[in-house]
Amino acid sequence: MNAVDIMPGKAPLTLYGSAVGSRLLLGTAQYPSPQVLADAVRVSRTEIVTVSVRRESAGARSGERFWTLIRDLGVRVLPNTAGCRTPKEAITTARMARELFGTDWVKLEVIANDDTLQPDLFGLVEAARVLADDGFKVFPYTTEDLGAAERLVGAGCEVLMPWGSPIGTGRGLNNRYALRSLRSYFPGVPLIIDAGIGAPSHASEAMEMGYDAVLINTAVAKAGEPVRMAKAFAAAIEAGRTAFEAGLMEMRDMAEPSTPVAGTPFFDLGAKP
């Protein structure tokens, strides 16, 4: 294969031993119709979609139709414990998801606050430890807190999903310093930005920081044209990852001319020969 045939930014991401080609994960809630959801998944080229266990298990026949749709798309399901507020509730929901979807992958959410939907970090670590011991591959929805991240990794989590900002706010990366610190502190742990991404530029910035993937839901589902927005996010994530791999220039306090002037001759164009 010629070097020019190798697409930049296409090195696969490995999550719990599974290689994943796309670095975009999509949520499946709030789309205007099942067909729009299906089209968005296809154009995004995502390989993983998240599904709320509580919503789909309560949907009876509609849940069955939804599962058929997801299965036909050929993507991997990452069930989540959205809406759970205690470790016990999250553990029970995760076990239900394993039976319902036939996977030991679970996006673990334990919510502490109704207004911000901020994770309960103490409950999250407790639930993660129990689920990891039970054979689950846990993807914890957390904050950028380094202490919590250390405890989650110690509990058996091989992937971390820190928020960019509160769920559904579209504010992007609120605490860039802490997110950069988290990335530097855990160089070998896959980090996926989850929550708060509102624009493709936010996703690209996360990838330029060296984050491994981004999970998007509201910004695509609630867009004026969700399918086109899914395509835009896919392009932004690929661009951001390519830029990170290529090596971004360092910021400077002073200007640096692209054409050096030191040592070059100057001519008086008005002088007569």
Clarify whether 107 is annotated catalytic. yes
Catalytic residue among 10, 88, 107, 272: 107
Say if CB 27 and CB 221 are below 8 A apart. Answer: yes
H or E, element range at 50? strand 48-52
Residue type, 9: G
Three-class DSSP labels, the chain: CCHHHCCCCCCCEEECCEEECCCEEEECCCCCCHHHHHHHHHHHCCCEEEEEHHHHHCCCHHHHHHHHHHHHHCCEEEEECCCCCCHHHHHHHHHHHHHHHCCCEEEECCECCCCCCCECHHHHHHHHHHHHHCCCEEEEEECCCHHHHHHHHHCCCCCEEECCCCCCCCCCCCCHHHHHHHHHHCCCCCEEEECCCCCHHHHHHHHHCCCCEEEECHHHHCCCCHHHHHHHHHHHHHHHHHHHHHCCCCCCCCCCCCCCCCCCCCCCCCCCC
**Beta-carbon count within 10 A of 270 CB:** 5
Task: Return the active site residues.
Answer: 107
